[in-house]
């Protein structure tokens, strides 16, 4: 299993080369996007805005960032305790930090889960259980985001141009609804998916025999894996159903805290704005960015935040708000997570 883990991800994703390229891409795109936001909006009062920054609210936002990191770790730890009673919460906390960092420096957050699995595995949690933990929490996320996005849409449709808001909402709803259907289908009908892949292999086998064998093999592996995950999830649902509810509750608190940080930033800037509108904007931003193709949603995030907040705060503050929002919710957590990720890589190299 050790060599399987190393070959599967450390060499391909969780390594210094990928990290260096990811950091370069993430930072360069983010910097360019932030410069564009500052240049496009009025920047004459930026120094004055920073000078008048309310430090009480600034440090309150900073405290909420650490609460965000704790909630992310706790969401994993409740399931870790189920599989491994007595395991330290610090393991889940570090796994979450590694997830945040690698998610920020890889497209579509593709490296985040990999880093989390790796930290779990190196601390005595099997790969299967690590994936099951993430899978259960992901279901909570897939359920939460459409609900959050729909509420945000109802709040914002009178405050932001209809065409723009409708496009974002439709995109987010379609992606998350489709994923939820696929996940539920895989969870309840794993044999059907495996059989479908096998039949698909037969169809393509008429064109290329290699495709047929490859797809058939993948279908069989997919079926066995999904059956295993279904059985583990079924066990949790039957033995400790409250864990699933607790996961969803922590998911609500986790993202509500993220949205609330946006409002605290507004207060730090000395702006009078409706809390429901500001938090709804953050909800739509997260709905849009969850599967953004750029590392950490860089570029797309800055432009989306600036565009949506333009209907909430004056143009003078948009650039500063965007910078602070990204700093608190992605830059700072990613920097903290980098220490965990790089430490794990160095430990593996030293071994």
What percent of the chain has a predicted confidence (pLDDT) above 90?
A: 28
Looking at residue 279, what is its pLDDT?
94
Q: Is the dihedral of CA 74, 304, 148, 144 positive or negative?
A: negative
Q: Is the pLDDT of residue 100 over 80?
A: yes
Q: Residues 264-278: pLDDT tens digits?
A: 999 999 998 889 999
Looking at residue 6, what is its pLDDT?
47
Q: Is the pLDDT of residue 252 over 80?
A: yes
Q: Residues 118-167: pLDDT tens digits?
A: 889 888 898 888 888 888 888 888 889 888 888 888 888 776 656 655 66
Give, rounded to a whole angstrom, the gap between the first and last alpha carbons of the chain. 16
Q: How many domains does the chain have?
A: 1
Looking at residue 349, what is its pLDDT?
65
Looking at residue 180, what is its pLDDT?
73
Mean pLDDT of 169-193: 71
Looking at residue 1, what is its pLDDT?
44
Mean pLDDT of 245-258: 95
Q: Is the pLDDT of residue 324 over 90?
A: yes
Q: Is the pLDDT of residue 54 over 80?
A: yes
Mean pLDDT of 302-325: 88
More confident residue, 107 or 250: 250
Domain that residue 310 falls in: 2-350
Mean pLDDT of 247-254: 95
Looking at residue 5, what is its pLDDT?
44
Looking at residue 246, what is its pLDDT?
93
12-16, 39-43, 293-297: the lowest-pLDDT one: 12-16
3-12, 150-159, 185-194: the lowest-pLDDT one: 3-12
Looking at residue 2, what is its pLDDT?
45
Looking at residue 177, what is its pLDDT?
74
Looking at residue 153, what is its pLDDT?
81
Q: Is the pLDDT of residue 3 over 90?
A: no
Looking at residue 261, what is its pLDDT?
96
Report the mean per-residue pLDDT for the chain: 82
């Amino acid at each position: 299993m050790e060599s399987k883990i190393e070959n599967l991800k450390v060499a391909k994703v969780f390594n210094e080369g990928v990290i260096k390229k990811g950091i370069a891409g993430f930072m360069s795109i983010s910097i360019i996007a932030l410069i564009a936001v500052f240049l496009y909006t009025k920047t004459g009062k930026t120094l004055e805005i920073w000078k008048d920054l309310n430090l009480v609210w600034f440090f309150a936002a900073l405290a909420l960032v650490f609460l965000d990191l704790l909630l992310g770790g706790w969401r994993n730890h409740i399931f870790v305790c189920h599989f491994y009673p007595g395991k330290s919460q610090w393991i889940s906390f570090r796994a979450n930090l590694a997830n945040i960092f690698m998610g920020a420096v890889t497209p579509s957050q593709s490296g985040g889960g990999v880093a989390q699995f790796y930290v779990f595995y190196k601390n005595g949690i099997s790969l299967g259980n690590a994936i099951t933990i993430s899978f259960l929490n992901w279901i909570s996320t897939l359920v939460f985001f459409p609900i959050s996005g729909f509420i945000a849409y109802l709040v914002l449709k009178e405050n932001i141009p209809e065409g723009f808001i409708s496009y974002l909402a439709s995109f987010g709803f379609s992606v998350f609804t489709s994923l939820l259907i696929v996940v539920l289908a895989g969870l309840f009908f794993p044999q059907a998916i495996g059989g479908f892949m096998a039949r698909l292999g037969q169809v393509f086998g008429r064109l290329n025999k290699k495709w047929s064998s490859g797809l058939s093999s993948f279908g069989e592996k997919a079926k066995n894996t999904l059956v295993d995950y279904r059985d583990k999830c079924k066990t949790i649902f039957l033995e400790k159903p409250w864990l699933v509810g607790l996961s969803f509750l922590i998911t609500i608190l986790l993202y509500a805290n993220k949205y609330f940080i946006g409002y605290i930033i507004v207060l730090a800037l000395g702006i009078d704005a409706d809390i429901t509108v500001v938090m709804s904007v953050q909800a739509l931003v997260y709905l849009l960015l969850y599967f953004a193709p750029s590392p950490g949603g860089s570029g797309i995030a800055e432009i989306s935040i600036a565009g949506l907040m333009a209907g909430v705060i004056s143009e003078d503050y948009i650039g500063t708000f965007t910078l602070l929002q990204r700093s608190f919710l992605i830059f700072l957590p990613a920097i903290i997570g980098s220490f965990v990720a790089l430490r794990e890589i160095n430990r593996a190299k030293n071994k």
